[in-house]
C-alpha cells in the first residue's frame, strides 16, 4: 500500500519476505544477510526510512522530503540509534538543500548552516550526530570559493553516501572482530537495539551475532525489553526473528536472575558515546546490567564504530544525558500506568564506567581504552 501524499508505504509485518536482503547504494549492489535496511535515498532524493515507531506491528516506509522532516523524525524516534541518526542527519542536509541548487552560494551555505543547527539540536547524547554534521559542513566550507551551489550539493550528496557506506563497512568489521566471542551454543544477552535498525549496516552489538549465525553457530539471544520505549522487545526481537535467530524477550528485571543461574555466557551492548577513558553512554539500564555481569563473572562487551568515540571527553562525566518526556514512563501503549499526578524520571541513557567492560568491539578490533581520535590510537585488548 502506498500513500502518495504522505510518501508512506505500509504493510503488515510479513515475516521473512525480504530475506535475503539486496542492498543497493549508488556504488554497490550485493546480497547480505540482514533483516532490514533502515535508510535509503528515495528515487526523488528524499530520505527513505522505516518508521520504527510502528514496529513490530507494521513496516512503514516514509519518505522525508525536507531537513525539517528528518529532524522531526530523529526527535520523535521514527529513526534512532547512534550511527543511524548520524547518517540520517547527513542525508537530511542533502535532501533539505536540493531545492537550492540554483541559488547563490551564500544563500545555499546559510541554509545548510541553519539545517545543521536544527538537526544537531534533535538529540544530545549520541556523538555520531554531531560528528556527521561537522563532517558535512566542513566539506561544504572547504569547497573552492568559485564553486556554485549545484557543485557543492553534489559533493555533499557524495559525502552523505560515503558516511552511510563507511558505517555499513564498520558494522561488518565489528561483526568480524566480535565473532570469536560467540562460540557455538552461546547464550548472549543484549539491551536496547544495536542492530540493523540502529545503523547503516548489520548493526553493532548484533553484528557478531549475525555473523555467528551465518557461520552455522547456534546462538540464543536474551533480549531485554528495554523500558520505557521497548527498543529491545519491539526492534531487536523483530530483527532476530526475521533473521531466524532464536531469541527470548525478557523484562529488564530478569537479567540478574538469569545470570545467577548461569544462563548467560556473555553480555554485548552498543554505545551512544564512548569517552577517552572508556566510560560509555548507552540506553538506560546498561549500567545495572554491567554491575550484574561483573558480580556474576559474566563477560560484558561494548560494540560500537570508532565514530562513537568522543576522544575530546576525558571520561563519562561530561556525556550529556537526554531527558525524555514523562509520558514514556507513565503510559504503556497510550494507556496510563501511573497516576497522572505522580512524578517520574526518564533519562534515556546512563553511563557505564570503563572498569565494568571486558572489551570494546570496534571496527578496529577488540580494544581497550584509552581511546585516541578515531585514527586507530586506541589500545588493543590482549
Ligand atoms: O534512544 P535510542 O533508541 O536512539 O538509543 C540508542 C540505542 O539504540 C542504544 O543506546 C544502542 O544500544 C546504541 S546505538 C547502536
- In sequence order, the 6+-apart residues with CB closer than 8 A to the CB of 142 are none
What pLDDT is recorded for position 379? 38
Task: Give the residue numbers spanning the domain of 108.
Answer: 2-172
User: Looking at the predicted structure, is the pLDDT value of residue 12 above 80?
Assistant: no
> Which CATH number fits the domain that encloses residue 220?
3.40.50.10470
Residue 381 falls within a domain, yes or no? no
Which helix (H) or strand (E) segment is 187 a member of? strand 186-190
Residue 32 falls within a domain, yes or no? yes
d(CA 373, CA 352): 20
Residue 365 falls within a domain, yes or no? yes
User: Looking at the predicted structure, is the pLDDT value of residue 255 above 90?
Assistant: yes
Residues 267 and 286 grouped into a single domain: yes
- In sequence order, the 6+-apart residues with CB closer than 8 A to the CB of 317 are 279, 351
- Taking alpha carbons only, the member of 341, 335, 206 closest to residue 269 is 206
Please indicate whether residue 113 is annotated as part of the active site. no
Q: What is the mean pLDDT of residues 106-113?
A: 98
List alpha helices for the chain, DSSP H: 67-75, 82-97, 105-120, 127-141, 149-178, 207-214, 231, 237-243, 255-260, 286-296, 327-330
DSSP letters for 233-248: IIIIHHHHHHHT--EE
Residue 244 falls within a domain, yes or no? yes
User: Looking at the predicted structure, is the pLDDT value of residue 376 above 50?
Assistant: no
Cα–ligand 1 centroid distance for 272 (angstroms): 6
d(CA 95, CA 76): 19
Rounded to two decimals, what is the model's pTM? 0.91
Cα–ligand 1 centroid distance for 142 (angstroms): 32
Query: Residues of the chain with pLDDT > 70: what percent?
Result: 88
The pick from 200, 270, 360 for probing ligand 1's pocket by mutation, whose C-beta has the most ligand atoms within 8 angstroms, reads: 270
Instruction: Quickly state the pLDDT bin for 333 (edges 50, 70, 90).
Output: confident
Amino acid at each position: 500500500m502506498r500513500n502518495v501524499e504522505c510518501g508512506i508505504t505500509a504493510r503488515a509485518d510479513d515475516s521473512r519476505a525480504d530475506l535475503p536482503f539486496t542492498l543497493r547504494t549508488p556504488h554497490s549492489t550485493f546480497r547480505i544477510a540482514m533483516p532490514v535496511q533502515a535508510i535509503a535515498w528515495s528515487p526523488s532524493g528524499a530520505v527513505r526510512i522505516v518508521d520504527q515507531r510502528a514496529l513490530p506491528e507494521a513496516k512503514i516506509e516514509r519518505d522525508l522530503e525536507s531537513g525539517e522532516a528528518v529532524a522531526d523524525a530523529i526527535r520523535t524516534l521514527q529513526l534512532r540509534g547512534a550511527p543511524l541518526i548520524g547518517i540520517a542527519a547527513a542525508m537530511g542536509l542533502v535532501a533539505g538543500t536540493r531545492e537550492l541548487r540554483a541559488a547563490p552560494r551564500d544563500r545555499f551555505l546559510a541554509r545548510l548552516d541553519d539545517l545543521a543547527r536544527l538537526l544537531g539540536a534533535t538529540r544530545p547524547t549520541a556523538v555520531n550526530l554531531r560528528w556527521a554534521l561537522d563532517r558535512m559542513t566542513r566539506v561544504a566550507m572547504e569547497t573552492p570559493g568559485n564553486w556554485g551551489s549545484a557543485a557543492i550539493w553534489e559533493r555533499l550528496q557524495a559525502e552523505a553516501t560515503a558516511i552511510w557506506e563507511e558505517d555499513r563497512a564498520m558494522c561488518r568489521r565489528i561483526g568480524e572482530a566480535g565473532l570469536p566471542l560467540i562460540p557455538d551454543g552461546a547464550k548472549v544477552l543484549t539491551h536496547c537495539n544495536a542492530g540493523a535498525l540502529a545503523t547503516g549496516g548489520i548493526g553493532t552489538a548484533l553484528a557478531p551475532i549475525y555473523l555467528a549465525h551465518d557461520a552455522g553457530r547456534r546462538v540464543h539471544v536474551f533480549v531485554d525489553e528495554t523500558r520505557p520505549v521497548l527498543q529491545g522487545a519491539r526492534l531487536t526481537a523483530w530483527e532476530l526473528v526475521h533473521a531466524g535467530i532464536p531469541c527470548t524477550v525478557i523484562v529488564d528485571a530478569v537479567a540478574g536472575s538469569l545470570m545467577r543461574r548461569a544462563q548467560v555466557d556473555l553480555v554485548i551492548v552498543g554505545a551512544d558515546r564512548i569517552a577517552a577513558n572508556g566510560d560509555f553512554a548507552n540506553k538506560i539500564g546498561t549500567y545495572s546490567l554491567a554491575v550484574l555481569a561483573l558480580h556474576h563473572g559474566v563477560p560484558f562487551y561494548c560494540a560500537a564504530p570508532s565514530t562513537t568515540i568522543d576522544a575530546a571527553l576525558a571520561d563519562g562525566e561530561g556525556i550529556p544525558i537526554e531527558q525524555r518526556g514523562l509520558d514514556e514512563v507513565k503510559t504503556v501503549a497510550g494507556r496510563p500506568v501511573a497516576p497522572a499526578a505522580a512524578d517520574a524520571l526518564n533519562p534515556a541513557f546512563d553511563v557505564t564506567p570503563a572498569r565494568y567492560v571486558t572489551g570494546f568491539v570496534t571496527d578496529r578490533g577488540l580494544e581497550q581504552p584509552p581511546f585516541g581520535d578515531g585514527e586507530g590510537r586506541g589500545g588493543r585488548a590482549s
